[in-house]
Structure 1
C-alpha cells in the first residue's frame, strides 16, 4: 500500500448502522450483469427495521440502516453527486482536492447561497488502506473495481474495507466504457451520469432532490434538442487537453460514457480521423489535419489555466495559426470531465452557446474568473431553482 505496511487490521464490523448486503458478501461472487438487468427501482423498500438497499454494478445489492453521513470519494463525479444532494461538505477525501475545489467554485459562484469547501481534504487517488480506517467514513462513494485496479490494492483489501469500515458504492468505468479488472468484468454494467446519480441519490434517501434536478436536466435537454440545426449546419469539433500544445491529448466525439456527456447531446461533427482514439496525443500537425471549426480546451476554466495564453500560443504557432478554430476565435474553455450533475447542467449550457451561438446565444469570450454571469433571459436553466434544490428548499 502507498502509505501503509502489510498489516491487516482485523476485528468485527465497526459500523452497525451501515451494512453490506447481497452478492459481494465474503466468500461469494458478485451478481453478474444479468442479475441486475431489468431492475427499474433504485432502492428496495424499507423493511420493518428501517433498513433499505440499493443495487448497482459492480457492487450488487448494498444494504443500509440509515443514510450515510461522512463520505469518502476518489473521483469528482461522485463528489459532485454528493454536492448536488446538499452533502458536498460531508466529503472527506477526493482526488486532487485543492485543484477541484478551485474548479468547482468557478461554477458555485452562480448558485445563490451555495458554498463548497474541499480544500485540504485527503487526496485519495491511490488511497492508503490504513487511512481509510482512520477516516472511518460511513460510505466509500467509489468504484471498488477501480480501486482494485490500483497496483497497491487487491481484492482482499477491497473486501476488508467493505466488511470492517463501510460499503463501497460507485461506478467509474462508465466514464468511457473502459474495461474493469478481469475479476470484475462479468459483473460490470455501464451507466449514464444521471443514471449513476439516481442510484447515489437513493443511497442517501434523497430521491426528491434527484427528481427535482432531473426535471431541470430533462428540460434543458429538450430545449437543446428542439433547436439543434441539421447535420450539415453543425460545426466540426475536437476536445483536447492543451497544457502543452505540441502534445495534446484528445477525446473523440463518439467516445461512449459520461466524460463527454455535456457535448454528446449537442451532436457536433467529430473532426478526428478513425485512426485516433480517445486518450491519444497528437501534435499540431495532427490537429491541423483534423482542422476543427471548434476547439475545446479541457480544464480551461480552472483558475490555474491561462486561456488567453493558450489562444496566443496557438495564434503565434506556425501551424496552429492555420487552424479554422483559431482563425475564427472559436477556442473555448471547458470545465471538468469527471463532472457531477451540477457541472453537467452548466457545461451543457456553455457548450450549447459555444457550438451554436446563433441559436442559444453568444458565449462570452472567457479569459479567467468564475462562470460568466449571463443575463437571465440568456440562461438555459434556472440558477435559483438549482441552488434551492441543493439547499433542500424544493
Structure 2
C-alpha cells in the first residue's frame, strides 16, 4: 500500500459519527461516509503553521485491466476485490457515488445505472456538464438511493445487479451491520463487488482490506470500469482527450512564483470546511494538476477537512476561493457568495472584493466531470493564460464558452460517448 503521511486509521464509529453530523447539516456527497472526523484545525480561529502537504503527481499508479478475448467469460482485477469474473458486460449496475455513474455514462452505458446516492443532488450536478454534450444525459429521476438508509442487503437482492460499483471496504467500514461474510454472500448470490473508494483521498481502508489495498488514479480506475463493460475503445479515446487537456494546461501554467493562493471550501452554517488542493487522491484530480499555491498547505488538521470561522479565513485570505458544489442544488454559488458578502468579516475577503469567489465542481468526479472541472478551474485560477471564467448561472447548464476559448472539444467527447462512427 502506498505510504501517505496524511492518512489515518478509521474506526466504524468514526465513519458513522461523521456521516450523521454532516448529513444533519445538509452536506451530502463528499463528506458522508468514509471521511474522517475532520478534526478542527482551529476552533478559535488560530492557524497552526506546523505541517506541510506536498503536492502529489496526477498519476499515482499505472495498471492495465486483466481481460481475456472479446467474446466469452473474462475477468478484471481491482483492489481490494481481486480478480472478478464476468460472463458478459453488466446490464444492471448498482451505483453509489456519482463518479461510477459518470463512468457508465462516459462509456455509453448510462442505461445500466440502477441506483445513485442523493440522486437529485448528484444527477442534476452531472447533467450540468452533460447538457453541453449533444446526446449525453443521465436519467436520474426515480433512481433509488442505496445509501439513504444505509446499504441494505435485502435491497441488493431485489435489485439483482450484475455488478455492485461500491467498495466492500466502504461497506464494511462505513455501514452498520456489514462484515466480510456479508460481502461474500452478496457476491456469490447476487453479483460481484467492484469499487475502490479510498483512492479518492488515500485514506485508510477498513481493517479486513487494509493490508494489500492499492490506490488508483481516476483515469486508472476508469480504465478498470471500462474493462468491466468491455469498452476499451471509448476509454482510450476519452483518455486521449484528457491527456491533451492536461498537456494544454500544464504547458501554459505561469511560474510557481506567479500563481495565486487558493482554497477549496464548503460553507455550512457559518463554518468553512476546507480541503487540500494538492493532496493525493482523485478527489483532487481537478485541482492538483493546476499547481496553485494551497492557502492551507501549511495548516495542520487531522483527517479530511479543516474547519475554519470567518476570522481565520480572513487571516489566511486566499486570492481565489473555490466553493465545492457551487453548481449543485443547495450550494449554488450566488447564494453562498451573498451569504459571505453579508458577513462583516467575510465581505473583507480578497476573493469577495476581487470577484474571485467561484463555483467549484463535485468531489466524486468521473471522467466527464473531470474534463469540465479541469477547464473550469484553469480559467478561475489563471484567466490570463486560459481565458476568463464567465461565471455560473444557478440551475443552468455549464456556461457557454466560445469555441476558441474551450480547452477541450465538446463534440469530440459527445461523439465518443454516443458512439458516433466519425469520433
Same fold by TM-score greater than 0.5: yes
CA offset digits 1:146-179 (Å, max 9, x no partner):
1111223111111100010000011110110110
TM-score (norm 1): 0.87
Report if the CA contact (8 A) 1:89-1:118 is conserved.
no
Kindly state the Cα deviation for residue 41 of structure 1 after the two structures are TM-superposed.
Answer: 3.0
Kindly state the Cα deviation for residue 318 of structure 1 after the two structures are TM-superposed.
Answer: 1.5
CA distance in 1, matches of 2:406, 2:278: 28
CA distance in 2, matches of 1:348, 1:361: 13
Correspondence for 1:389:
416
Kindly state the Cα deviation for residue 81 of structure 1 after the two structures are TM-superposed.
Answer: 0.8
**Are positions 1:124 and 2:146 aligned together?**
yes
**Are positions 1:42 and 2:65 aligned together?**
yes
CA distance in 2, matches of 1:333, 1:210: 28
CA offset digits 1:110-166 (Å, max 9, x no partner):
001222211221111222101000000111111111111122311111110001000
Which of residues 89, 97, 109 is equivalent to 1:87? 109
What is the correspondence of 1:339-354 to structure 2 with a 5 Å cutoff? Answer: 339-354=365-380
List, as ranges, runs of 4+ consecutive aligned residues in structure 1 with deviation greater than 6 Å: none
Correspondence for 1:72:
94
Correspondence for 1:261:
285
Which of residues 252, 256, 260 is equivalent to 1:227? 252
- Listed as ranges, the gaps of 5+ residues in structure 1 are 1-37
What is the correspondence of 1:314-393 to structure 2 with a 5 Å cutoff? Answer: 314-368=340-394, 369-393=396-420
Report if the CA contact (8 A) 2:250-2:289 is conserved.
yes
CA distance in 1, matches of 2:95, 2:171: 11
CA offset digits 1:270-325 (Å, max 9, x no partner):
10132245322111112112210000111110144332222222222121122111
Correspondence for 2:180:
155
**Are positions 1:173 and 2:195 aligned together?**
no
Q: Which protein shows a greater Rg?
A: 1
CA offset digits 1:228-287 (Å, max 9, x no partner):
00011100011011243x211110123210111101110000101322453221111121
TM-score (norm 2): 0.81
Report if the CA contact (8 A) 1:176-1:258 is conserved.
yes
Correspondence for 2:214:
189
CA distance in 1, matches of 2:146, 2:137: 22
| SS of residue matched to 2:185 | helix
CA distance in 1, matches of 2:62, 2:97: 26
Report if the CA contact (8 A) 1:252-1:276 is conserved.
no
CA RMSD, 1 decimal: 1.7
CA distance in 1, matches of 2:346, 2:410: 37
Report if the CA contact (8 A) 1:142-1:170 is conserved.
yes
CA distance in 1, matches of 2:393, 2:90: 40
| SS of residue matched to 1:54 | strand
Kindly state the Cα deviation for residue 40 of structure 1 after the two structures are TM-superposed.
Answer: 4.2
CA distance in 1, matches of 2:226, 2:103: 8
Report if the CA contact (8 A) 2:279-2:288 is conserved.
no
Correspondence for 2:300:
275
CA distance in 1, matches of 2:177, 2:407: 44
Kindly state the Cα deviation for residue 39 of structure 1 after the two structures are TM-superposed.
Answer: 8.5
| SS of residue matched to 1:46 | coil
Correspondence for 1:24:
none
- Listed as ranges, the gaps of 5+ residues in structure 2 are 1-60
Report if the CA contact (8 A) 2:278-2:284 is conserved.
no
